[in-house]
Structure 1
């Protein structure tokens, strides 16, 4: 999947997440300067009740299977198994239908 001008791997599509998240290391690898992050910290509560604060938010163009969108991402500075977590905002915006059983996402295109 493409974010901005970079192809990003290790993406989790999480219908239980109310925000889209991107890790700070990914932004650095994309050569996006930290001053492009809007300093607007949000509190996130994880599945096990752990609490994390975002560094801020950033808007990035996304491109998947012929569907382009412009999304808001919360920026996290922590270790994660995933580079990006796409939550309900992205799922609804592109009208995607995620299937946990089939481990795939259907995106309607023309």
Structure 2
């Protein structure tokens, strides 16, 4: 998922495990994140990985969190800026310069709808988080 409003690139457990990463691979990251539900989520840590987008490869600092998501990752402004990309949410695509041409990453509206439906239907288990308004 591309989230133009987020200032952090997020990695979820499925991708973390799928890449055979270990907790020892993470560096400390102790700033809480605010979830879509308005709760503070404590991360497991941070990891820098190279992400290839066709001919371009950029380093991305992912914040790893242990929470349910139908997505494996959320790429945000840092990834978009590193790539020099523009996200077109209506058309589910990202465009970025590469050499003398413009490359394009196409998404699928039907798959995006399936992910959103899964997120809405998923009954989340109690998270180890606190409300963002608690303690204010």
Give the TM bin, normalised by the shorter chain: 0.7 to 0.9
The structure that is strand-richer by fraction is: 1
With normalisation by structure 1, the TM-score equals 0.84
- Unpaired runs of at least 5, structure 1: 1-11
How many pairs were matched up? Answer: 99
Q: Which residue of 2 aligns with 1:35?
A: 24
Q: Considering Cα pairs closer than 8 Å and 6+ residues apart, tell me whether 1 or 2 has the greater RCO.
A: 1
Q: 2 CA distance for matches of 1:72 and 1:61?
A: 9
TM-score between both structures, scaled by the size of structure 2: 0.69
Query: In proportion to residue count, which structure has more helix?
Result: 2
In our comparison, the structure showing a higher alpha carbon Rg is 2
CA shift digits 1:17-55 (9 cap, x unpaired): 110011133122111121001122221113342221111
Matched residue, 1:65: 54
What is the SS of the residue equivalent to 1:13? coil
Is there any run of 5+ residues in structure 2 with no aligned partner, and where? 100-136
Regions of 4+ moved over 6 Å:
none
